[in-house]
Amino acid sequence: MILGRTERGTPPLEPVTLKILVAGGFGVGKTTLVGAVSEIKPLRTEEVLTEAGRPVDDTSGVEAKHTTTVAMDFGRITLREDLTLYLFGTPGQERFWFMWDELSEGALGAVVLADTRRLEDCFAAVDYFERRAIPFLVGVNCFEGAARYPVDAVRQALDLDEGVPLLLCDARDRESVKDVLIGVVEHAMAQSAGRRHALAT
Protein backbone atom coordinates (compact mmCIF):
# COMPACT_ATOMS: atom_id res chain seq x y z
CA MET A 1 0.00 0.00 0.00
CA ILE A 2 1.32 3.44 -0.96
CA LEU A 3 1.29 5.86 1.96
CA GLY A 4 -1.79 8.08 1.86
CA ARG A 5 -3.63 5.87 -0.61
CA THR A 6 -6.07 3.02 -0.11
CA GLU A 7 -5.30 -0.54 -1.22
CA ARG A 8 -7.37 -0.06 -4.39
CA GLY A 9 -5.12 2.81 -5.45
CA THR A 10 -7.70 5.56 -4.91
CA PRO A 11 -6.86 8.58 -2.78
CA PRO A 12 -8.40 8.63 0.71
CA LEU A 13 -11.60 10.62 1.16
CA GLU A 14 -11.06 14.15 2.34
CA PRO A 15 -13.34 14.72 5.33
CA VAL A 16 -15.75 17.63 5.00
CA THR A 17 -17.38 19.30 7.99
CA LEU A 18 -20.42 21.51 7.55
CA LYS A 19 -22.24 23.81 9.96
CA ILE A 20 -26.03 23.64 10.07
CA LEU A 21 -28.27 25.86 12.21
CA VAL A 22 -31.52 24.67 13.79
CA ALA A 23 -33.86 27.61 14.39
CA GLY A 24 -37.50 28.30 15.14
CA GLY A 25 -39.79 29.55 17.86
CA PHE A 26 -39.75 28.86 21.58
CA GLY A 27 -40.61 25.24 22.44
CA VAL A 28 -40.76 24.03 18.82
CA GLY A 29 -38.36 21.11 19.38
CA LYS A 30 -34.89 22.41 18.46
CA THR A 31 -33.16 20.88 21.49
CA THR A 32 -35.04 17.61 20.93
CA LEU A 33 -33.99 17.50 17.26
CA VAL A 34 -30.29 18.00 18.02
CA GLY A 35 -30.42 15.41 20.82
CA ALA A 36 -32.24 12.84 18.67
CA VAL A 37 -29.56 12.71 16.01
CA SER A 38 -26.28 13.70 17.69
CA GLU A 39 -23.65 10.96 17.95
CA ILE A 40 -22.02 12.79 20.85
CA LYS A 41 -23.65 13.91 24.07
CA PRO A 42 -25.22 17.22 23.02
CA LEU A 43 -23.99 20.41 24.61
CA ARG A 44 -27.03 22.17 26.05
CA THR A 45 -27.36 25.58 27.65
CA GLU A 46 -30.79 25.21 29.19
CA GLU A 47 -32.05 27.11 32.19
CA VAL A 48 -35.22 26.67 34.19
CA LEU A 49 -38.01 29.08 33.31
CA THR A 50 -38.66 31.46 36.18
CA GLU A 51 -41.50 33.67 37.29
CA ALA A 52 -39.34 36.68 36.43
CA GLY A 53 -39.27 35.61 32.81
CA ARG A 54 -43.02 35.12 32.42
CA PRO A 55 -43.74 38.69 31.25
CA VAL A 56 -41.31 38.28 28.31
CA ASP A 57 -41.54 34.53 27.55
CA ASP A 58 -44.69 33.54 25.69
CA THR A 59 -45.44 29.98 26.80
CA SER A 60 -48.83 29.78 25.07
CA GLY A 61 -49.23 26.29 23.67
CA VAL A 62 -46.17 25.00 25.53
CA GLU A 63 -47.30 25.44 29.10
CA ALA A 64 -45.65 22.15 30.13
CA LYS A 65 -42.20 23.41 29.11
CA HIS A 66 -40.02 24.17 32.16
CA THR A 67 -36.61 24.92 30.60
CA THR A 68 -35.32 27.09 27.76
CA THR A 69 -32.14 27.34 25.70
CA VAL A 70 -30.29 30.53 26.59
CA ALA A 71 -27.25 30.25 24.31
CA MET A 72 -27.24 27.27 21.97
CA ASP A 73 -27.49 23.52 21.57
CA PHE A 74 -24.59 21.74 19.90
CA GLY A 75 -24.39 18.27 18.40
CA ARG A 76 -22.58 16.32 15.70
CA ILE A 77 -23.62 13.67 13.19
CA THR A 78 -21.56 11.82 10.59
CA LEU A 79 -23.72 11.27 7.51
CA ARG A 80 -20.99 9.57 5.49
CA GLU A 81 -17.37 8.60 6.08
CA ASP A 82 -16.34 11.92 4.53
CA LEU A 83 -19.22 14.18 5.68
CA THR A 84 -19.84 15.40 9.22
CA LEU A 85 -22.44 17.97 10.25
CA TYR A 86 -22.07 20.23 13.26
CA LEU A 87 -25.50 21.26 14.51
CA PHE A 88 -26.10 24.53 16.31
CA GLY A 89 -29.54 25.03 17.83
CA THR A 90 -30.40 28.72 18.23
CA PRO A 91 -32.31 30.13 21.21
CA GLY A 92 -35.96 30.65 20.34
CA GLN A 93 -36.90 33.54 22.59
CA GLU A 94 -36.72 37.06 21.20
CA ARG A 95 -34.52 38.31 24.03
CA PHE A 96 -31.74 35.93 22.89
CA TRP A 97 -31.93 36.67 19.15
CA PHE A 98 -28.81 38.85 19.34
CA MET A 99 -26.81 35.58 19.34
CA TRP A 100 -28.08 34.50 15.93
CA ASP A 101 -25.57 36.60 13.94
CA GLU A 102 -22.62 34.94 15.66
CA LEU A 103 -24.09 31.44 15.41
CA SER A 104 -24.88 31.84 11.70
CA GLU A 105 -21.30 32.79 10.80
CA GLY A 106 -19.99 30.18 8.34
CA ALA A 107 -23.22 28.14 8.25
CA LEU A 108 -23.94 26.17 5.08
CA GLY A 109 -27.67 26.24 5.74
CA ALA A 110 -30.42 26.03 8.32
CA VAL A 111 -33.47 24.07 9.44
CA VAL A 112 -36.41 26.22 10.50
CA LEU A 113 -38.64 24.09 12.75
CA ALA A 114 -42.33 24.95 12.69
CA ASP A 115 -45.30 23.94 14.84
CA THR A 116 -48.66 24.15 13.03
CA ARG A 117 -50.31 25.22 16.31
CA ARG A 118 -48.07 28.31 16.43
CA LEU A 119 -46.86 28.90 12.87
CA GLU A 120 -46.30 32.59 13.51
CA ASP A 121 -43.46 31.70 15.89
CA CYS A 122 -41.21 30.69 12.99
CA PHE A 123 -41.79 33.83 10.88
CA ALA A 124 -38.78 35.58 12.44
CA ALA A 125 -36.44 32.70 11.56
CA VAL A 126 -37.74 32.50 7.98
CA ASP A 127 -37.24 36.27 7.57
CA TYR A 128 -33.77 36.09 9.10
CA PHE A 129 -32.44 33.49 6.66
CA GLU A 130 -34.20 35.04 3.66
CA ARG A 131 -32.62 38.44 4.36
CA ARG A 132 -29.15 36.94 4.73
CA ALA A 133 -29.50 34.60 1.72
CA ILE A 134 -28.71 31.57 3.90
CA PRO A 135 -30.28 28.44 2.34
CA PHE A 136 -32.90 26.93 4.63
CA LEU A 137 -35.50 24.21 4.80
CA VAL A 138 -38.70 24.29 6.85
CA GLY A 139 -39.33 21.17 8.93
CA VAL A 140 -42.88 20.93 10.28
CA ASN A 141 -42.54 19.12 13.61
CA CYS A 142 -45.58 16.85 13.86
CA PHE A 143 -46.55 17.09 17.52
CA GLU A 144 -49.03 14.58 18.95
CA GLY A 145 -52.48 16.10 19.04
CA ALA A 146 -51.65 18.84 16.54
CA ALA A 147 -53.78 19.13 13.42
CA ARG A 148 -52.12 17.84 10.24
CA TYR A 149 -52.27 20.12 7.21
CA PRO A 150 -51.25 19.52 3.58
CA VAL A 151 -47.72 20.69 2.81
CA ASP A 152 -49.04 23.19 0.26
CA ALA A 153 -51.34 24.76 2.88
CA VAL A 154 -48.44 25.21 5.32
CA ARG A 155 -46.25 26.64 2.54
CA GLN A 156 -48.96 29.16 1.67
CA ALA A 157 -49.47 30.11 5.33
CA LEU A 158 -45.73 30.77 5.68
CA ASP A 159 -45.60 32.58 2.31
CA LEU A 160 -42.56 30.51 1.32
CA ASP A 161 -40.86 30.77 -2.05
CA GLU A 162 -41.41 27.70 -4.23
CA GLY A 163 -37.69 26.91 -4.05
CA VAL A 164 -37.67 26.48 -0.26
CA PRO A 165 -38.08 22.80 0.70
CA LEU A 166 -40.74 21.96 3.29
CA LEU A 167 -40.83 18.56 5.01
CA LEU A 168 -42.97 16.96 7.69
CA CYS A 169 -40.82 15.48 10.45
CA ASP A 170 -40.68 14.13 13.98
CA ALA A 171 -37.92 15.88 15.96
CA ARG A 172 -37.75 12.87 18.32
CA ASP A 173 -37.01 10.35 15.57
CA ARG A 174 -33.39 9.94 14.43
CA GLU A 175 -34.21 8.78 10.88
CA SER A 176 -36.76 11.54 10.38
CA VAL A 177 -34.23 14.15 11.52
CA LYS A 178 -31.53 12.66 9.26
CA ASP A 179 -33.87 13.07 6.28
CA VAL A 180 -34.33 16.74 7.17
CA LEU A 181 -30.57 17.33 7.53
CA ILE A 182 -29.83 15.59 4.23
CA GLY A 183 -32.49 17.80 2.65
CA VAL A 184 -30.80 20.95 3.97
CA VAL A 185 -27.38 19.89 2.68
CA GLU A 186 -28.75 18.99 -0.76
CA HIS A 187 -30.71 22.25 -0.97
CA ALA A 188 -27.71 24.36 0.06
CA MET A 189 -25.39 22.55 -2.38
CA ALA A 190 -27.89 23.03 -5.22
CA GLN A 191 -28.15 26.75 -4.47
CA SER A 192 -24.37 27.07 -4.36
CA ALA A 193 -24.01 25.26 -7.69
CA GLY A 194 -26.68 27.48 -9.20
CA ARG A 195 -24.85 30.64 -8.11
CA ARG A 196 -21.56 29.33 -9.51
CA HIS A 197 -23.24 28.53 -12.82
CA ALA A 198 -24.82 32.00 -12.96
CA LEU A 199 -21.43 33.65 -12.38
CA ALA A 200 -19.78 31.51 -15.05
CA THR A 201 -22.31 32.44 -17.75
pLDDT for the residue 110: 98
For the chain, give every domain's residue range. 17-200
Q: Encode pLDDT of 104-161 as tens digits.
A: 999 999 999 999 999 999 999 999 999 999 999 999 999 888 888 999 999 999 999 9
pLDDT for the residue 26: 86
Q: Measure the CA–CA gap between 155 and 135, rounded to whole angstroms.
A: 16
CA dihedral 145, 128, 76, 183 (to 10 degrees): 70
Provide the CATH topology of domain 17-200. Answer: Rossmann fold (3.40.50)
pLDDT for the residue 1: 39
Query: For residue 77, how many other CB atoms are within 10 A of its CB?
Result: 20
- Residue 87 pairs with which residues in a beta bridge? 20, 75
CB 187, CB 166: distance < 8 Å: no
Residues of the chain below pLDDT 50 = 1-6, 49-50, 52-57, 65, 70
Q: Measure the CA–CA gap between 31 and 50, rounded to whole angstroms.
A: 19
Write out 153-196 in H/E/C secondary structure: HHHHHHCCCCCCCEEEECCCCHHHHHHHHHHHHHHHHHHHHHHH
